[in-house]
Amino acid sequence: MTKVDPPKRQQHVYTGFGLRTDPYIFFVSAGLVALFVFTAIVFTKPLNDGSKAAKDWIVSNLSWFFIFSVTGMLLFLIWIALSKYGNVRLGAQDSKPEYSNLSWFGMLFAAGIGTVLMFWGVAEPISHFGNPPREGVVPESVEAADDAMAFSLYHLGLHTWAIFCLPALAFAYFIYRRGLPMRMSSAFHPLLGDRIYGPIGKAIDILAVLGTLFGVATSIGLGTLQINSGLNYLSDSIPVGKGTQLAIIAVVTAIATVSIVVGLDKGIKRLSNLNIVMAVALLIFVFLAGSTLFLARGVFETFGNYFGELIGLSFWNDSYANLLENRSWGWQGDWTVFYWAWTITWAPFVGIFVARISKGRTIREFVLGVLAAPTAFTIVWFSIFGLSAIDIEINGGGGLVEEMDTDSGGGGAPFALFTFLENFPLTTLMVAFSVLIVVIFFTTSSDSASLVVDMLCSGQQETGTPTRQRVFWAITEGVVGGTLLAATTGSSGLEALREVITIAGLPFHVLAFFMMWALVRALREDVEVVTVTPREKTPIETPKEKATPIET
């Protein structure tokens, strides 16, 4: 195991303004964000036109690359978990995990899927049910229902968690086994060497900061749209519009900022745990108050449907769409490409969190746990909410497909969950309960993301950096989220979020291949396999390279 010490000239911190961070990464990132906000406000229409044209070009020409990239990540992770490197520990070879499996699984759930499940749990399955992705499938048919569930889980199951898992594994390996700074550039040390401390490394770190800001801002934007819709459902006096959405972002950002200033870390953690309990309570309520027997059967069947379709969907990119007069590349750009771009920009945030809670686990435990546990919960969540929505559309009052059709006056995805809850008892109470869940997810995500961005800039863990740095990034996240929603010429902020994040995600997918290469190269350098018996091989550390991992 090799420990790498940064050059002494890189161990300084910038203290001119009372900061403890890398001045180049911090100020260049902040400057680029300010430039984006200024451009979006002053040159709104040119920016909208440019981002739409760029997004359309990427979708038309590179949608296949996004799909190839994410499927490649998943296959790579499965290979490395089952390979001779699977027994290598993230830390000293005799170290043990710091958290029990149950606690670890719970924290994985909190890491990256709370807001996503609340927003898309009803909206995506019912959208695909009414507007099937594949040509020739009859809308609102049994085949459309199967496709709706399969595509929803393809988007938010193993592939999403492969995007989170790859950088998390790279962070954990290079931080705990090589003692490198907590920065994106550290994952490329086997390829760049000490150049990770120079202009190339800093450029990678700036890209990671910007990607995290835009990824989290997109989540903030989606959460804001849903909160606004829920409040409007509860009271007509609260309008749906950009003014209300900006006010929501300001209030939630202020709450997150206060929690940073007064140091409510334990309170935020308890609030996060409470939020998970609340989300599970909502899940149980829908299961028991809905068609329970149908859902119990459907959950089991959905597992089989998902894994039965997984291989085909992993390579499907609608190749024949442009050959048919009534089809275009639009569907996959608005869904699959958007998901993969959004998720990978958010991956440094989730990756650092997952790495911090996974020290002491083997690569095999890490990969299989990060992929399997959240995916299993996601399947259950989408089965209960998605199948309940389809059941309501077929046997109940309906109206959910129409709600998703914004061209015909529907509220779209932000309203889907609340229209869905109209079909259950205690509607007003459950809508309010759901809005509260989204608000807490929103607040804790903003608080956590500001910490992660600060770490990406400073290369340090959360101790030792001034609070003002986290406050700055929390406010910046809110400003970027508000800008993405408000400084748009279209009527729906969702389109603007899709356009910007698709552009931002492209370079991260390119870097993912270099990250896989660097990880394999590091493992080959640090670990050798020695034959113990004719049937047993054990990975051990090369004695002359043995070193103590960084402390957390």
Q: What are the structure tokens assigned to 399, written together?
A: 């109206």
Interval 169-204: pLDDT, tens: 999 999 998 888 888 999 999 999 989 999 999 999
Tell me the CA distances in angstroms from 275 to 129, 268, 320, 343, 426, one per residue in order.
Answer: 29, 10, 43, 22, 20
Per-residue pLDDT at 138 exceeds 80: yes
Give the position of tokens 């745990």.
273
The more confidently predicted of residues 464 and 372 is 372
Cα 407 → chain centroid? 29
Say if residues 342 and 501 touch (Cβ distance below 8 Å).
yes
What is this structure's pTM? 0.87
Alpha-carbon span 525 to 506, nearest angstrom? 30
Please tell me what DSSP assigns to residue 515: H
φ, ψ for residue 133, nearest 5 deg: -65, -35
d(CA 107, CA 90): 18
Best CA proximity match to 500, nearest among 242, 299, 210: 210
**How far apart are the C-alpha atoms of 533 and 92, rounded to whole Å?**
24
Residue 124 belongs to what H/E stretch?
helix 114-130
What the chain holds in terms of domains, given with CATH numbers, is: 8-545 (1.20.1740)
Q: Give the model confidence (pLDDT) of 346-382 as tens digits.
A: 888 888 888 888 888 999 999 999 999 889 999 999 9
Of the ranges 7-11, 115-119, 120-124, the best mean pLDDT one: 120-124
For position 181, what pLDDT does the model report? 87
CA–CA distance from 527 to each of 165, 182, 185, 194, 543 (Å)?
Answer: 21, 22, 22, 21, 10
Backbone φ and ψ for 94, nearest 5 degrees, come out as -100, 10
Handedness of CA 312, 316, 319, 320 (dihedral sign): positive
What pLDDT, on a 0 to 100 scale, did the predictor assign at position 179?
A: 86
What's the mean pLDDT in 292-307? 94
- Region 87-95 average pLDDT: 85
Average pLDDT, the chain: 83
Q: Is the pLDDT of residue 494 over 70?
A: no
